[in-house]
Amino acid sequence: MSKLTHLGASGEANMVDVGDKADTVRTAVAEGAVIMKPETLDTILAGDAKKGDVLGAARIAGIMAAKKTHELIPLCHPLLLNKVAVEIEPDEALPGLRVTALARVSGKTGVEMEALTAVSVACLTIYDMAKAVDKAMVISDIRLMEKTGGKSGDFRRSENE
């Protein structure tokens, strides 16, 4: 188990000094899902939600959230993101929507939190925009799928993780 870098010797929280680290291209991909009734999915896909374009609003909300991650998560560094992409795909097997976010930066620290924040807020936006027709929706399985770059190397979630 590696040492937690955000804690001092007495357990106090600290922002990690990344000043001496080399800039590298770093990417992260996260995913999550919103499980809902089949008729809720049909309403969203038909564009009939009372609040408007659920998928478009969720996509924009996820991108905006990634850009503000350092304001939401304590001790995260502000990053000049090169790219944030949020994709939302229907999955009839859930039934519901699968949300995937990619974040990329050329910098001294990773973008895992930005990708995870993008997915989380996109899922919350889907819930908010469709809750009038389905309050029982479940936001599920938000997780990091892969990351590249940086000192810790690459990570890709295996199928059994």
Kindly report the number of other CB atoms within 10 A of residue 34's CB atom.
29
Q: Residue 3: is it exposed, middle or buried by C-beta count within 10 angstroms (0-12/13-18/19+)?
A: exposed
98-137 pLDDT per residue, tens: 999 999 999 999 999 999 999 999 999 999 999 999 999 9
Active-site residue set: 128
9-55 pLDDT per residue, tens: 777 777 787 878 888 999 999 999 999 999 999 999 999 999 999 99
- CATH code linked to domain 24-151: 3.30.70.640
CA distances from 156 to 30, 86, 116 (A): 11, 19, 15
C-alpha closest to that of 106 among 148, 68, 63: 148
What global pTM score does this model have?
0.91
Are 67 and 138 spatial neighbours (Cβ–Cβ below 8 Å)?
A: no
Size of the chain, expressed as the number of residues it contains? 161
